[in-house]
Structure 1
Amino acid sequence: MQNTLLIFFLLISSTFSLAQQNKQTAYVEFAYNNGNSMNQTIVLKFNAKECLETVYPPSARNWNNFKTKQYNSLSDSLHDAEMIKLLDSFFIKTDTRTIYKNIEDAYFIRSSTIDEKKYCYYDTIPPRDWELTSDTLTIAGYKCLKANFEFKSGQKGFVWYCPDIPVPFGPETLYGLPGFILEVGSYNSNFSIKLKKIQIPFNDNSNLQPCNNAKLVTKAQYQKLINENNNNFEKMMLQLQKSN
C-alpha cells in the first residue's frame, strides 16, 4: 500500500512539474534590422506550447540618416525634428504588430495596428525547409547550431538556434527547428535579427493572448489593409522629401 501511494505521489509530482514547465514563460528581446535605416524591437514571450511576438514601431530618431546627420543651420535641425515627430506619430498609430503561434494546433494569428485600429487573421503555420549544419556559435552563453533556409524573395538566409531551449519558435514566421532561434541573418543583404536580452524563466503570469480587441478579417483583407497602409507611408515620405 505504501509503495502504491509512493508511486502515485511521484506520478502526481512529475505531472505537476511538467505542467509548471509548460506554463513557464520566457522573455526574449531582439534588435530587428530590415536592411535599411529602419531598426525595430521584437519581443517574444513563450512557453512550451505557445509564443506571442510583438514588433514595436521604430523611432525615426534612431534612423541612420538622422542619427549621423550633421546640421549646418538651426532651420535644418528644426525641419528634421518636425519630420521625426510626424513619422513617429504615423508609426505609433499604424505599425505595432503581433504574431501568435500555437504548436499544439499548428496555427498562427497575425495582427497589426493600422490607423489606431487593430486587425487580425488566422492561418496555418507554413512548413519551411531547413538545411541543418554542424556549425556552432555561442550567443549570450547559449551554444547554438546553424541552419540555412530561403526567404520568400528567394534570397538565402541562416539562423542560429539553441537545442538547450527545446521549443520550435523563433522571430517572424521562422519555426520548426529543434531549438529556439536566437539569431537570424541573410547572405545577400544587411537584414538581421539579433538577440538583445533573454530571461528564462520570466516572472509573468499573464496569458499569451492573441488578437486582444482586434477585428477578425480574412488574409486577403488583411493584406489589402497592409498594402494601403504602406502606400500611405510612401506618399507621406514623398511629401516630406519634396518639402526638404
Structure 2
Amino acid sequence: MVWKRNTNGRNKYYKKFINMKLYLYIFSLLLSSFTFAQSKTTAIVEYKQVNNGYFRSHYYCTLFIEGTTTIFLPKYNTTYVTEGEKINNEPKEIYPDWEYLKIDHGKQQICFFGAFSTNFFLIKDDYNKLNWIISEEVKTIGGYQCTKATTNFRGVDWIVWFAPEIALPYGPWKLHGLPGLILEASAGKGSPKWIVEKIEYKNGDIFDKDFKMLVDTKNKEAIPLKEFLEKNKEWSDNVTAKMKQERPDSTIYTAPIRGDYEEKYEWEE
C-alpha cells in the first residue's frame, strides 16, 4: 500500500494565507498612495541677497515652491555690515505678511501687496513670458552645475545661473521659465545679487493660508498693477501740490513710482 499525504486542507489554508497577504499588500499600497496625496511637500529655497554698494548689506529671502505655485518672501530683519566686518548675528526667520509675492504659474496669476499713505492694497500683475537667452557658460554653485542665462524684463537686464538637474522652472522674485531652478540672479552692475544658501524639501502649511486675509487691505479683490501705480501717483502728486502751496519757495523732489527691479512697464512702450 502506498500512502499519500492529504495536502488538500493545507493547500486550502495556504491559498487563503497568500490571498490575505496579497490583500494586505494592495491595501498598504493604496494607503500609502492616499497618505502621499494628502501630504504636501514644499521645496524651500533660501537665498542670501548681497548688496555690495556704498552701504554693504546682507539679508535673506526664501522661495517656497509647491506644485506650480511659488511664494517669495524676504525675512523681516536686515543685517548691515561695513567693509571688512563679519556678520555676528543670524537673521530671524520672521516673514512680514505684506511682503508676500505669490505666483500661480499654472493659472498665470501674480498677486502681492502694495501701500501708499496708510492704506494697503491687494495687487495683481501680468504674467510675463521672459525671453531667456541661454549661453554655453557654466559654473558650479552649491555643488550643482549651473548654466548662465540672460533676459531683459521691464527695462532691467538680468543675469542668472540655473541648475538643470533641479527640474523646477522658478527663481527669486518674478523670475521664471528656465529649464531648472535659478540659484543665482543679479540685475546689472552694482545691484543686489541673490545667491542660494540652501535647498530643502519638507511638508509645509504656508500655501494653506488665505492670501487675501493676510493683510487688511483697502480692496478685497485685486486691482491691476497699472491701476495701483496710477492711484499711487495721484496721491503723491496731491501731497506734492499741497507741500508746494504751504512752502512755495522750497524745492520738492518727487521720486518716480516704480518697482524695485522695474524701470519701464509694457504699457509705457
Same fold, judged at TM 0.5 (above): yes
Q: What is the CA-CA distance between 1:8 and the residue it aligns to? A: 7.9
What are the Cα deviations for residues 15-37 of structure 1, in whole angstroms up to 9, with x where unaligned? 754664x5324142331549664
Q: Partner of 1:170 in structure 2?
A: 171
Q: Partner of 1:29 in structure 2?
A: 47
Q: CA 1:43 to 1:113, structure 2 compared with 1: closer, same or farther past 3 Å?
A: farther
* Equivalent position SS for 2:100: strand
Q: State which of 190, 209, 221 in structure 1 corresponds to 2:227.
A: 221
Structure 2: segments with no counterpart, 5+ residues: 1-17, 84-97, 241-251, 256-269
What are the Cα deviations for residues 178-228 of structure 1, in whole angstroms up to 9, with x where unaligned? 222111124x42223222532412453332643423333332232235556
Identity of aligned residues (%): 18
- Mark the structure with the bigger radius of gyration: 2
* Equivalent position SS for 1:200: strand
* Structure 2: distance between partners of 1:55 and 1:229: 26
* Structure 2: distance between partners of 1:112 and 1:36: 27
Q: CA 1:29 to 1:118, structure 2 compared with 1: closer, same or farther past 3 Å?
A: farther
* Structure 1: distance between partners of 2:76 and 2:56: 9
Q: CA 1:161 to 1:103, structure 2 compared with 1: closer, same or farther past 3 Å?
A: same
Could you tell me whether the CA contact under 8 Å between 2:125 and 2:224 is conserved in 1? no
Normalised to the residue count of structure 2, the TM-score between the two structures is 0.58
Map 1:191-202 → 2, pairs under 5 A: 191-195=191-195, 197-202=197-202
Could you tell me whether the CA contact under 8 Å between 1:26 and 1:47 is conserved in 2? no
Structure 1: segments with no counterpart, 5+ residues: 69-95, 238-244
* Structure 1: distance between partners of 2:54 and 2:183: 21
* Equivalent position SS for 1:133: strand
Map 1:180-219 → 2, pairs under 5 A: 180-186=181-187, 188-195=188-195, 197-202=197-202, 204-207=204-207, 209=209, 210-211=211-212, 212-213=214-215, 214=217, 215=219, 216-219=222-225
Normalised to the residue count of structure 1, the TM-score between the two structures is 0.63
* Structure 2: distance between partners of 1:150 and 1:114: 28
Map 1:1-244 → 2, pairs under 5 A: 10=29, 13=32, 17=36, 20=39, 23-31=41-49, 33=51, 37=55, 39=57, 41-55=60-74, 62=80, 67=82, 97-115=99-117, 117-153=119-155, 155-186=156-187, 188-195=188-195, 197-202=197-202, 204-207=204-207, 209=209, 210-211=211-212, 212-213=214-215, 214=217, 215=219, 216-224=222-230, 227=233
* Structure 2: distance between partners of 1:55 and 1:152: 21
Q: CA 1:113 to 1:58, structure 2 compared with 1: closer, same or farther past 3 Å?
A: farther
More helix by share: 1
RMSD: 4.0
What are the Cα deviations for residues 56-110 of structure 1, in whole angstroms up to 9, with x where unaligned? 5786x83x8xx47xxxxxxxxxxxxxxxxxxxxxxxxxxx533111122121112
Moved more, 214-223 or 96-105: 214-223
* Structure 2: distance between partners of 1:221 and 1:57: 28
Could you tell me whether the CA contact under 8 Å between 1:27 and 1:202 is conserved in 2? no
Q: Which has the higher contact order (CA 8 A, sep 6+)?
A: 1
Q: What is the CA-CA distance between 1:42 and the residue it aligns to? A: 2.7
How many residues align? The count is: 203
Q: CA 1:142 to 1:16, structure 2 compared with 1: closer, same or farther past 3 Å?
A: farther
